[in-house]
Chains A and B, each alone.
Chain A
């Protein structure tokens, strides 16, 4: 039996689920194909930061449009996704770093972006009382926040189904071919025919692109995270650093999630990662210095989610360069969670109308096509 749909979305991460939902909201019939289950990898196990702060200029418009959705997420998916907005703070660890931050914030203002705000030592201490005294200030994005990643992905999946999307989990895409204007997506559960295809396959997206004759230099990465047992509330915003790899956040239930980009070794064909404890020890030492209060907290779990990183650390978003009707949405390089709701909406608009108001210049796959 050949299934038919308007759009086949490959990949059940937050991006795939969001695109499927927004397509369904536009009255199209999407089928989402996921090889494991929705949120199995990075979408379900990332640090949950909903951050506009410190983004590449090319993805700021997308990030701002996504933030507008996050702020009303419950209206969209019927679940608050655990989203809470307490801001993200980028902490400067030296005067030199603080000067760089000042230059960045000034530059953003000139370009018309005001979401990043320079803060002095006193405001930093007010926002993050537990931070070590050696930090001279920082940058805050006050509307940023954090959400529960697995719950968010599941909420998008559930609402997509309610709105008419079909979700096929445990189903692997094995081939892509085109007859006239119709794409035939071969899967482990039989073929699906559709006019449009979205490649939101995360760490496996290069394989889909390769089927289209569009090889991309995708690196499979697995950023590590660890979480402590519950401790009393002592910090509200998410804290990040620039020169050292750290992201730090306390969740509503009291546990503290420590991440920042040190990587495990990924084995994407086995859905497995091997942690690097010497690197996690570096994170532990950074926290030790930045938050003395955390020294005797216990680490109860560490893990890593498998995802894709592009060489320029910004995603691939937009139409395929070789195959009409195929759209890419991958390579979020460890900061795609916040972009999920907005990118799905933008992608659905692009597919349904042929155009989008959100600028995505500079994010196309063409930048990797051999010249």
Chain B
């Protein structure tokens, strides 16, 4: 196993507010990792730093031994928690755009998944329903043969059926040599597919362990442990 992602003493402040407080972690390949924490814990900030969308106040990130740059963007497939696609494009145009910019993009796979959902190639993105927009974004991200998939709240705000679709799409389409980092607070839905979990609270990592060890040590599910750790 090789180290795909490494964070060393990562700090991020928004004015006086501390969003990340000396985060250090290491992610190896071939794993699905849950980045779990309540709202405002710092999950999205950490993910944005990994993707080079935010600059850390101090500390550093290494992706496959490189700091976030054009080279790491070729390796990381990122799903943000906002509707980030160019709304004026058609489905066909956005697929074509991804295939032009990302060498690892699998166009046939994308169309196969879109076809299964019955999404019209000629449809404008702004005319798609919220659920279909979410699925569309996920299909684009999972159609890449990336080394690291970073998914920020992929199952938040969608109905249970869409949630199941999203989870199945993630499991069936990620490159087995790669790792998937999924941020969420809906743990019960995703617990069964996770290998490792990282609990993040107030910008600090409070737990980083495998799901099996958590169950053995604590005699409870990840969801139950989460409720215990983040109890008010």
Bind each other: no
